[in-house]
Structure 1
Amino acid sequence: MMNRNTCLALLACLVATGGCKVNQQASSSKDPVIATVGNTPIYSSEFKYVYDKNAVADSLPAQESLQQYLDLYVNFRLKVLEAESLGLDTLDSFNQELGGYKQQLAEPYLQDSSITTSLVKQAYDRLKEEIHASHILISLPEDADPKDTLAAYQKITDIRQKAMQGTDFTTLAKENSQDPSAASNGGDLGYFTALQMVYPFEDAAYQTPAGQISQPVRTKFGYHLIKVIDRRPSQGKIKTAHIMVRTNPEAPVEDATAAKQKIDEIYSRLQKGEDWNQLTMQFSEDAGSKTKGGVLPPFTTGSMIPAFEEAAFALKNAGEYSRPVLTPYGWHIIKLVEKTGLEPFEDLETSLRQKVTRDSRSELNRTLLLKRLKTENAFVEQPKVYALAEKSATNALPAGQWTYATDSKDLQKTLFTILKQKYTLGDFFAYVQKNQQAKPNLTAAYYMKMLYTDFVNQSIMEYEKKHLEQKYPQYKYLVKEYRDGMLLFQRMEDKVWSRSLTDTTGYKNYYENNRTAYQWGKRVTATVYNAASAEVLAEVKTLLKKKSYPVKEVTFQDIYFDSGVGKLNSDHQAKLDNLAKAMAQDKNLLLEVSGYADIRENESVSAERAQAVTDYLVENGVDITRIVVKDFGRFKPISKTDRQKNRRVAVGITSTSKTAIEKVVNARKPLNLEITEGVFQKGDNAYVDNIDWKPGSYTLNQNGRVIYIEVASVEQPRAKTLEEARGQVISDYQTYLEKQWIEELRKKYAVVINEKEVKKLME
């Protein structure tokens, strides 16, 4: 039986993979029918395809396995036939959705796979190296008229000649480049690697030696000259965290000074050993990362602001952090989290293939594909007919107001053919009138030629799409699979899945009629402590006696008060806000709030301080039952020179969760301790299986480790309640509903099996 998740997974798999390699044989008059469902034949090739693709290897003999799968496939066809009988395949919403999927499934067939593979390998090889380059840009629209293209080319050529004769490239960039940033950076692009620039630019840069200047390069932005300054091995990928204080080059002097002072103070506190995460949470002005310890997504060369990138890659060891770094967005202290080299080709191939098919390299692929399709589909032009189109190009065309005489006999003339299909001058003129735009910088003749090229290319691609099913049987199978899968999904949703969830009376009755199927075996409630040694276990037992346990990941630094003051200030509240958040996220945490006073203060102020902290936490959602308040009064001074250290509130944080013990013990060595808590049946846990199932504690020695087990209680076998068995009951009820439905369908539609042809398949 197919449940909802299985069906969803099947559809997702088809989209993600574009299907699997299939038998190239298509159904034909010689393709035998192995079964008929209603009036719908199931051809041998169709069944063999789905069986080879989907049948799971098992211990059954091949003949029995095939027979079982045939039964399942007949059931599948019955459900699809029922959906068709209800007209679900004629709904606009269905065909619109199917059209989108067909477009996705067609994509692999509308690319030249050999070119894509070559470009993927080239991109990976280039990722091994980083280029530092400067450029000069003479802007030019992609669809520029030839006269404008020639003028831009002549201008960039003249600039190159000056550079080759010794004129400083940076000076030339500042004087001539139409890249807006050139005036300030002299055209310097910093370091970049593959897939970060448009492909023609990247290609020229990687083919130019260090210290050399490229020939003029045409991209969608215009003409470029590229001077390669340096080439170096890839720095790999880096993951960082940062603390940020915002400012910008236009900020008033007093604001810029305040930002610098703030970042310097944060840096000073880091150097004194204060916690990175606490400082990030309290002071960083990057809202997106401050709650995550300042951690940013990994990046490679050319992906970040140069100043940030340079400082980040200069860090050598995980945990090391930089001095404050200024970027156009503000000041940053950057911490290295992780640095890795270029991943193996096998790990990157899929993502590289996706990028290659989406970036400007795809234009090269499309150009070569169109060239191949013209040959395969016998594309033939009629130049004399195109001459009529060119003759009709008036100045109204670049104005976007061109029209044509719809009664002209010339419109029936064939402009070009794709195999036997004719495309007339009238077809082209209708396309021109629909797609023309105002292009005042173009001549009429050149614009007509552009539109003709677009029309030819679009026609070739549309022709290929329409004939994919005849050309590629595997594509036809995939489209059919997808269509049938969508119909199946809709009927299963209506008849089984939704009904099983909403028909509470139905699944309750099913549970009552099948209670014996939902039973708990004998169970124990236990905690298993898997310790690396007897010494570790002894430490664990000591901690267990405390009932609440020390916490490693949540910390709180003492807050200090001015002499005689018991009220909280804004800094105190900011720290307590973070603590309240941690308490909300982890309901196992407990607090011990301790107030202190200096020997020179009134003793009552210590209680006032502790109560102020407690009241603030309670106001911010912390349950008072999770707080223990202690007043230590005028406690023995911590410092005789720094009296503020004596005027404080300390907060001890513990947890009732045994997970806290695990974290404390594993802080020294990650594998010191593993704790497993739960309710166990036989077979759930090998250690629990090896002890007497009676309340108490047990110690085992296995594989050099010490296993300590505390059994809290033992429960005898009993029936599961409906709530305990609900997930399993609903799943079984779905199976029951589906079985009933199939029985109804087999009565409604005749199923005829051609045993002779089935036997041939088995043989």
Structure 2
Amino acid sequence: MTRVRNLWAGVLCILGVAGLYAQNNDEVLFTVEGKPVTVSEFNYIYNKNNGDEADYSRESVEEYLDLYKKFKLKVQKARDMKLDTIPELINELAGYRKQLADSYLTDKEVSEDLVREVYDRQAYDVKVRHIVVKVPSRATDDQVEEARQKIESIAERIHGGENFAEVAKVASEDATTRLNGGELNYLTAMLPNGYYEFENAMYQLEPGEVSEPLKSNVGFHLVQVIDKRPARGQMHAAHILLRKKKNGQPAEGVKELADSLYNVLQKGGDFAQLARQYSEDSNSKDKGGDIGVFGISTYENNFEDAAYALKNDGDISEPVETSIGWHIIKRLDKPEREPYDQVRRRIQADIKQDDRYQLAKDQMIEDIKEMAGFTENTELLQQFIDSLDETFYSYKWQIPQGVSGTLFTLGGQDYSMGIFANEARKNTRKRLRFSKSAPLEASVMELYNDYVREQAMEYEEANLEQKYPEFGALMREYREGILLFEATKINVWDKASQDTAGLREFYEENKDDYMWKERADMETLLVITEDKKLIKKISKYFKKHSGEEVVEKFHSQETPVTYRSSTHERGDLDVAGINWKEGAISDERYDSKSNTAKLRKITKIYPATPKTLKDARGYIIADYQDSLDKEWIESLERQYEIKVNEEVLDKLIRD
């Protein structure tokens, strides 16, 4: 499949063909042999490739129209050549469709919704309190049920009128928050993996409301929302820290020193300089107090509130007390919230590592099943399960006889028990992975649910073109791209590389386009010596003698002398610094590190002459391909009728 991906990238670059899709009731811009190309299709291409420069001037629109007409002519020819019936190409396109459909479906119906959800939620900070009943990481079913019953009994107390915070103090198993009534301060999306239900409750409840029991990675929770506010976002700040304790002992005069430094700053003192001199934060003092960019709940409330209260860059807070000391905070920058398009991919990468992604995929499957009228015969499935024995977990298992009928219906299509049983038989690897101690029913249900999910996905993927017109456009890109590649390969690329007689004829007709510039033969001497007088002597001798003669006269074990011959065009870097005439010699170039001198001499100059076919073969083949392509287009223009709706075209022009 790499070939199509690469070729289509080239097609897009050359023709600007991307995202071709039509809308209902589109006006037709032009036709090729009666096949319509709509305005929306052309507009998408034009805007895609011009971006901000899509000015819809007549010149630019007509230029793109000409390109697209040529593209459509080639695609029409490919169809007439029956290239769209070649099994290899059909399979190649089917493979691409499957690959694209899988990612497109999850992106459109799962990922995109989750990304937007996170982004919208990040516009608000939510202050919550909670009550936790923990569940061990490897809890038994009985332990889970015991925890569930406990959280439900606590929920009954709160719904019965007891104060949430007071109940949290005695019933919550979160030692960190229990004493302050379960308060967690302000939070914002997205919460860590395993807390999606918690996050949902946090954003769906109104202040004062309490959630039903919900599950997280640590156990069961009840959540109460205390407050919601517009998100504070991020802050870039610096601080000067004066610690309350030094060497474990209370320090004296800390507040007084903080006040004194604040007064100095109020009179124009240099914050960064004072931070380097006085701050006791070893991580930031050498950076002028810069603590970088941070968000809510990073630091203690007093520090955070003081930092976010600063209205302008450069504003400085009065001394602020925290548990570790006194801080003077300077606002350096308040980054604006990034637009959705800029953060979309970053959020998308995060959610794909979060359990919410799988939960949303599972919900998508349920939605597809409902939309497709899914029904199942649970009695038949149970008959199948009852007919099994432990050989189900081995290679020896054979499909039992006598269990048949429709197992489920999806999208109007019946799926028989025989088909599912055969899929289970073929899935030997998974059957062998099941624990023999696990109930047969649980193992079969896992296989069954996987099979239903696969069929639901295939059903949805089969209808993507109807549901998402842009997916149809994407598939048209690949379909027409494959056809264009094959047709061009046959009519242009293969012909240019294989038609030796045609290539020779093209060269003879255009040989003046492949000229050598003036060329010169050059000899280059390399002399290894520390004796610079010897180098001058060799240079003088080299003016009237060949490199070979120089080597014969001066080369020795103590003074190695070598030479080489080469040919260069005028203007080449290798001949820079030498007069362009026969016998011209360069100045000595001496490298003191290697004790090597380099001397160059032009020995012969050749006038400009045509390159041979062998010399310029690559350039000639490329130009021959261009020539063949041009001839091919001209023949297609004679073969196929193109009609442009000039009235519709004029509507596009904005001159």
TM-score between the two structures when normalised by the length of structure 2: 0.53
Pair 1:272-2:278 in alignment: no
CA shift in 2, pair 1:452/1:752, >3 Å: same
For residue 59 of structure 1, what is the aligned residue in structure 2?
A: 58
Amino acid at match of 1:408: P
**How many angstroms apart in 2 are the aligned matches of 1:412 and 1:245?**
77
Aligned: 1:758 with 2:655: no
Q: CA deviation at 1:189?
A: 1.2
Determine which of 743, 746, 749 is the counterpart of 2:627.
Answer: 743
1:414-452 Cα shifts (integer Å, max 9, x gaps) = 533434363513324666962897899997645754664
1:112-127 superposed matches below 5 A: 116=113, 120=116, 124=120
Mapped to 2, the partners of 1:325 and 1:264 lie a distance apart of: 12
Is 1:44 the equivalent of 2:35? Answer: yes
| Alpha-carbon distance in 2 for matches of 1:461, 1:394 | 31
Tell me the equivalent position of 1:71: 70
Paired position in structure 1 for 2:235: 239
Partner of 1:684: none
How much has 1:385 moved relative to structure 2? 2.8
Q: Where does residue 452 of structure 2 map in the other structure?
A: 456
How far did residue 58 of structure 1 move? 2.7
Residue aligning to 1:607: none
Task: Name the residue aligned to 1:370.
Answer: 365
Aligned residue for 2:152? Answer: 157
User: 1:137 aligned to 2:132?
Assistant: yes
Aligned length: 485
- Report if aligned partners of 2:302, 2:320 keep a CA contact under 8 Å in 1: no
Any idea what the Cα deviations from partners look like across 1:139-161, whole Å, max 9, x if unmatched?
45999987665433311022234
Q: Does residue 217 of structure 1 match 2:214?
A: yes
1:239 and 1:339 in contact (8 A); partners too:
yes
C-alpha offsets along residues 48-69 of structure 1, whole Å, 9 cap, x if unaligned? Answer: 7753421363315988863453
Q: Superposed, which structure 2 residues align to 1:239-258 within 5 Å?
A: 239-243=235-239
Task: Identify the residue that residue 22 of structure 1 maps to in structure 2.
Answer: 22
Secondary structure at 1:759's aligned position in 2? strand
* 1:406 alignment partner, one of 382, 392, 398: 398
Query: In structure 2, do the counterparts of structure 1 residues 402 and 762 end up closer, same or farther at CA, with 3 Å as the change threshold?
Result: farther
CA distance in 1, matches of 2:136, 2:153: 20
- 1:131 match: secondary structure: strand
Hey, what does 2:410 align to over in structure 1?
418
SS of residue in 2 equivalent to 1:236: coil
Q: CA deviation at 1:745?
A: 4.3
Aligned equivalent of 1:34, options 27, 32, 35: 32
Q: Secondary structure at the match of 1:408?
A: coil
Task: Tell me, in whole angstroms, the C-alpha distance in 2 between the residues paired with 1:256 and 1:337.
Answer: 32
- Where does 1:175-186 land on structure 2 (aligned, <5 Å)? 176-179=171-174, 181-182=176-177
CA contact (8 A) 1:34 1:754 kept: no
Kept in 2: contact 1:325–1:333 (CA 8 A): no
Determine the C-alpha separation between the residues in 2 that align with 1:446 and 1:204: 31
Find the counterpart in structure 2 of residue 320 from structure 1: 315
Residues 339 and 154 of structure 1: CA distance in aligned 2, closer, same or farther (over 3 Å): same
Residues 131 and 232 in structure 1, CA contact (< 8 A), matched pair in contact too: yes
- Contact 1:130–1:192 at 8 Å: present in 2 too? yes
- Asked if the contact 1:320–1:335 (Cα under 8 Å) also holds between the matched residues in 2, the reply is yes
Q: Structure 2 CA distance, aligned partners of 1:286 and 1:737?
A: 63
Q: Give the unaligned 5+ runs of structure 2.
A: 1-5, 47-53, 494-512, 518-617, 648-655
2:386 pairs with 1:391: yes
Q: CA deviation at 1:70?
A: 1.5
Q: Is the 8 A contact 2:132 2:222 kept in 1?
A: yes
Note the 1:711-722 alignment, pairs <5 A.
Answer: none
Alignment of structure 1 residues 252-651 onto 2, 5 Å: 272-273=264-265, 274-278=269-273, 285-286=282-283, 294=290, 296-297=292-293, 299=295, 301-302=296-297, 306=301, 308-322=303-317, 323=319, 334-338=329-333, 347-348=339-340, 366=361, 369-388=364-383, 390-391=385-386, 405-409=397-401, 414-419=406-411, 420=413, 422=415, 423-428=419-424, 434=430, 445=441, 449=445, 452-466=448-462, 468-469=464-465, 474-481=470-477
Give the CA deviation at 1:321: 3.7
SS of equivalent residue, structure 1 residue 296: strand
Q: CA deviation at 1:338?
A: 4.5
Find the aligned partners of 1:487 and 1:281 in 2 and give their Cα distance. Answer: 68
Instruction: Give the superposition deviation at 1:312.
Output: 2.3
Matched to 1:22, the amino acid is A
User: Could you say which residue in structure 1 is the equivalent of 2:652?
Assistant: none
Task: Say if 1:240 and 1:312, in contact at 8 Å, map to a contact too.
Answer: no
Matched AA of 1:54: I
8 Å contact 1:196–1:302 — kept in the other structure?
Answer: no
**In the alignment, is the contact (CA less than 8 A) between 1:243 and 1:294 conserved in 2?**
yes
Distance in 1 separating the partners of 2:149 and 2:164: 18
How far apart in 2 are the matches of 1:276 and 1:483?
64
Q: What per-residue deviation string (whole Å, max 9, x for no partner) do you get for residues 461-510 of structure 1? A: 24423553576564243134258779999x99xx9xxxxxxxxxxxxx99
Q: Which residue of 2 aligns with 1:562?
A: none
Q: Of the two, which has the highest radius of gyration?
A: 2
The alignment-based identity, stated in percent, is: 22
TM-score, normalised on structure 1? 0.47
- CA deviations 1:69-107 (Å, max 9, x no partner) are 3136657999999xx99x9x99x9999999766544444
- Give, as a single letter, the amino acid of the residue that structure 1 aligns with 2:643: K
* C-alpha RMSD of matched pairs (Å): 6.4
- Structure 1 residues 22 and 221: alpha-carbon distance in aligned structure 2, compared to 1, 3 A threshold: farther
Structure 2 SS opposite 1:312: helix
Q: Give the conservation status (yes or no) of the 8 Å contact 2:380–2:405.
A: yes
